[in-house]
Amino acid sequence: MSYLILVRHGQSIWNLENRFTGWVDVDLNENGKNQAKKAGKLIREKQINIDLYYSSFQLRAKNTLQIIQEELKDHKNVKSAWQLNERHYGSLTGLNKDEMKQKLGEDKVHQFRRSWDLRPDPLDKSSSYHPININTYKSIPADKIPDTESLKDTYERVIKFYTEEIEVNIKNKNILISAHGNSIRALCKYLFNLDNKEISKLEIPTGNPLLMKFNAENKVLNSEYLDSERAKDLLVY
């Protein structure tokens, strides 16, 4: 028996401003730091020894994990993987979601945010928001950096990394992943065998650890949000 803990980063500066963030490397705000600290305390109370830590390349996920490790008094090395990054929102990046609802209509914005395979228009490579112009991503091969992504695109890169790098360790190690709303939605789709309609309804709260218990066959036995007051209906067992 082993455990996997998925944590969406604490609230970021752009979460608070209700902007499409994607691959723009914004940091946590004060509320997000407090959420991460509480996440660490809740994990500590479970008395689970974490063997492996993973994070995306992005500052808000890395700093969330750093705060959690401080609460756990555990400073094992963290493996950072760009494959765990948030979905790239293309030309929507940086725009306010409410303003876009007024401009495009609520249904269209909902389609961009929740549909399985619809991509927004590509982000111009000259934009300062494009990953090729952000120092965080200089080590990523240029052909791996997207201009836009659907949830399906995000799922494919996240699950490829998970099955090749993480899943093999689930049998005998406890693992914590600090990532993002859409990369965690992708993992939940895979782990809970959700269909394309179910995944569209999935909401991932910031800074709330989702604890999953696995059996010897790498199947999820049960799962729970550790902060029950901020739990969402995640179709969990």
DSSP for 24-87, please give it.
----B-HHHHHHHHHHHHHHHHTTPPP-EEEE-SSHHHHHHHHHHHHHHT----EEE-GGGSPP
In this prediction, residue 105 has a pLDDT band, given cuts at 50, 70 and 90, of confident
> With contact defined as beta carbons under 8 Å apart, do 65 and 28 qualify?
no
pLDDT level of residue 237 (50, 70, 90 thresholds): very low
Give the rounded percent of residues in the chain with a pLDDT score beyond 70.
97
pLDDT tens-digit readout, 142-158: 999 999 999 999 999 99
Asked if residue 103 belongs to a domain, the reply is no
Residue-wise pLDDT for 108-137, tens only, equals 776 777 689 999 999 999 999 999 999 999
Catalytic hit among 17, 30, 70, 86: 86
pLDDT tens for 43-88 read 999 999 999 999 999 999 999 999 999 999 999 999 999 999 999 9
9 is catalytic: yes
Query: For residues 54 and 189, what is the distance between their CA atoms, to the nearest angstrom?
Result: 19
Residue 118, domain member (yes or no): no
Number of structural domains the chain divides into: 1
Answer whether residue 145 is part of any domain: no
* Cα separation values, 134 from 34, 98, 201, Å: 27, 26, 31
Q: Is residue 183 part of a domain?
A: yes
Question: Residue with structure tokens 């455990």?
Answer: 3
Lowest-pLDDT choice from 20-29, 36-45, 74-83, 103-112: 103-112
Of these residues, 9, 88, 130, 180, which one is catalytic?
9
Confidence of residue 231 (pLDDT cuts 50, 70, 90): confident
pLDDT at 234 over 70: no
The band of 106, judged by pLDDT with boundaries at 50, 70 and 90, is confident
Across the chain, mean pLDDT equals 93
Q: In what order do the strands lie in the sheet with 175-179?
A: 78-80, 52-55, 175-179, 2-8, 210-214, 220-225
pLDDT at 15 over 90: yes
| Chain mean position to CA 231 | 16
**199 falls within a domain:** yes
| 191-203 residue pLDDT tens | 999 998 888 888 8
Is residue 173's pLDDT more than 50?
yes
Closest by CA position to 94, among listed 166, 1, 24: 24
Residue 39 falls within a domain, yes or no? Answer: yes
- Confidence (pLDDT) at 143: 95
- The answer as to whether 6 is a domain residue is yes
Task: Determine, yes or no, domain membership for 160.
Answer: no
Task: Say which CATH number the domain at 189 has.
Answer: 3.40.50.1240
Q: How confident is the model at residue 22, as a pLDDT?
A: 97
* Token duo for residue 219: 């199947």
> Whole domain around residue 83: which residue ranges?
2-89+169-230
Task: Give the number of other Cβ atoms within 10 Å of residue 237's Cβ.
Answer: 11
110 is catalytic: no
pLDDT for res 189: 95
Task: Report which of 199, 203, 201 is spatially closest to residue 225, judged by C-alpha positions.
Answer: 203
- pTM, two decimal places: 0.94
